[in-house]
Amino acid sequence: MRRQKRQPRKISTYIEVRSEDCRDNPEIMVRKFTKKVRKSGIMDEIKDRQYYKKPSAIKSEQKRRRQKLINKLNQKQEELYNYSSLSKKRYNRRKHS
């Protein structure tokens, strides 16, 4: 079984901001444009493609992100299940002077 080559992510290179939508205010137009650029991910993609990354480095980065997300979700789940025990611990604390 052969591995298929990954297709690079397609980036929308066309971003449009109309003056009618912004009440002919150039400051609002610039803000809307930067927001659309940030939302589309163009700048992030440019930063990623600025230097070559080895496939092994990309995989290790993805693995690190995945593990970080799993740890975060496990921590949230643990907090939900142990909520009652946490509240008891808070009330039982005494200040030693």
| Nearest CA among 7, 12, 6 for reference residue 42 | 12
Per-residue confidence (pLDDT) for residue 71, from 0 to 100: 96
Residue-wise pLDDT for 53-87, tens only, equals 999 999 999 999 999 999 999 999 998 888 655 55
15 near 33, Cβ under 8 Å? yes
21 near 32, Cβ under 8 Å? yes
37 near 12, Cβ under 8 Å? no
Per-residue confidence (pLDDT) for residue 95, from 0 to 100: 64
Task: Name the residue with tokens 């092994």.
Answer: 56
- Output the pTM of the full model: 0.48
CA-based angle 94:95:97, to the nearest 5? 140
Query: In this structure, which amino acid lies at residue 78?
Result: E
Residue-wise pLDDT for 10-27, tens only, equals 666 788 899 888 888 999
Q: Give the start-to-end residue ranges of the domains of the chain.
A: 13-51, 53-91
How many whole angstroms separate alpha carbon 65 and alpha carbon 43? 20
Per-residue confidence (pLDDT) for residue 31, from 0 to 100: 94
Per-residue confidence (pLDDT) for residue 21, from 0 to 100: 86
